[in-house]
């Protein structure tokens, strides 16, 4: 298929590389992923989908259920002229019927890349250690790099820049925060983190973020949501209990109650500030309908942008 105009491929060396965490991409490489995503999004809206991965197959190994991740990776491969092969936990018996090492050694003979959505981050690392094709972390309990890229892309679209902006995180110190923080500070975005005592991000990640941070970038760690949002360009939240933590829901609910992103909290942020959530949302818990469905929400823009950043990442890595 001929395209109306050639894609401007960024000059970065991602071909054949794993992306297990956002730290596997330096600042230049992240900017390249965002730049190509912008091209692919613009072309896609005109119905023009360059077949950059024609004849290539991506295996989707999913131990956790998914809407956005499954739909966007599969659609992305279709748009790029390739194919996605979906293998859920029942089909592959991840780590039980076969070891992750043996799964990797088999898949590398048939496909050109693997995207894995799992619980333990060690599972992602095991696949990458034994597969000779690129492995992309589509979510683990430790990191969610594709979500971080989508959030940063959405922020860049909104403000036409990233340097000098500020994100306020309100909620749990989880995998999405870890990837978002490590990616944001490298691109010059300051981050204020408000979590309840006992649910903070780990010290090692905070230290790593400090080492990665671009000059002038600030990381604030506090337990007051109002202070966190007062200078924010983006207010970000996520569920109070992630998949695998269902048994903690009732215990966490009263602890996190004052960390709800609602109209009262948003009123303490600058008038230009927008709100996002990685989804799925537990409406009425970490975020209210009024905010999530309101004019300042970019959560569904970010959900769309998962498609574009993942297409870009696949096109550069496979």
Residues with a catalytic annotation lie at 117, 144, 147, 238, 278, 306
In the chain, DSSP finds a helix count (H) and a strand count (E) of 13, 9
**∠ CA 162-165-168, rounded to 5°:** 120
Q: What is the DSSP pairing of strand 113-117 with strand 219-222?
A: unpaired
Q: Which tokens hold the place of 235?
A: 């207010």
Does residue 318 have a cis peptide bond before it, meaning omega lies within 30 degrees of 0? no
Side by side, the strands of the sheet bearing 113-117 are 83-88, 57-62, 113-117, 135-139
Distance in angstroms (rounded) separating the CA atoms of residues 314 and 309? 9
Please give the full DSSP string across 203-238, using - where no structure is assigned: HHHHHHHHHHPPTT--EEEES-HHHHHTT-SEEEE-
- Three-state DSSP class for residue 305: helix
């Amino acid at each position: 298929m001929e395209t109306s105009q050639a894609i401007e491929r960024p000059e970065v060396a991602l071909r054949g590389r794993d992306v297990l965490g956002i730290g596997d991409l330096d600042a230049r490489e992240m900017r390249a992923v965002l730049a190509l995503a912008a091209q692919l999004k613009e072309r896609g809206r005109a119905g023009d989908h360059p077949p950059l991965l024609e004849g290539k197959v991506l295996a989707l190994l999913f131990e956790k259920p998914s809407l956005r991740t499954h739909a966007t990776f599969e659609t992305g491969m279709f748009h790029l002229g390739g194919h996605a092969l979906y293998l859920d936990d029942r089909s592959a018996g991840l780590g039980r019927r076969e070891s992750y090492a043996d799964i990797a050694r088999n898949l590398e003979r048939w496909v050109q890349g693997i995207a894995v959505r799992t619980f333990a981050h060690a599972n992602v690392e095991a696949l990458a250690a034994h597969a000779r094709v690129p492995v992309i972390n589509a979510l683990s309990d430790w990191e969610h790099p594709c979500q971080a890229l989508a959030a940063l892309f959405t922020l860049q679209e909104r403000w036409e820049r990233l340097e000098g902006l500020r994100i306020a995180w309100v909620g749990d110190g989880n995998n999405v925060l870890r990837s978002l923080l490590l990616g944001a500070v490298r691109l010059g975005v300051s981050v204020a983190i408000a979590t309840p005592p006992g649910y903070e991000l780990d010290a090692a990640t905070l230290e790593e973020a400090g080492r990665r941070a671009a000059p002038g970038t600030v990381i604030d760690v506090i337990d007051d949501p109002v202070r966190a949002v007062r200078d924010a360009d983006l207010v970000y939240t996520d569920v109070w209990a992630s998949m695998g933590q269902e048994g903690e829901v009732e215990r966490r609910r009263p602890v996190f109650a004052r960390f709800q992103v609602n109209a009262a909290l948003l009123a303490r942020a600058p008038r230009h500030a927008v709100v996002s959530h990685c989804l799925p949302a537990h409406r009425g818990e970490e975020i209210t309908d009024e905010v999530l469905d309101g004019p300042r929400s970019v959560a569904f823009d970010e959900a769309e942008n998962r498609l574009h950043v993942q297409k870009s990442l696949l096109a550069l890595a496979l």
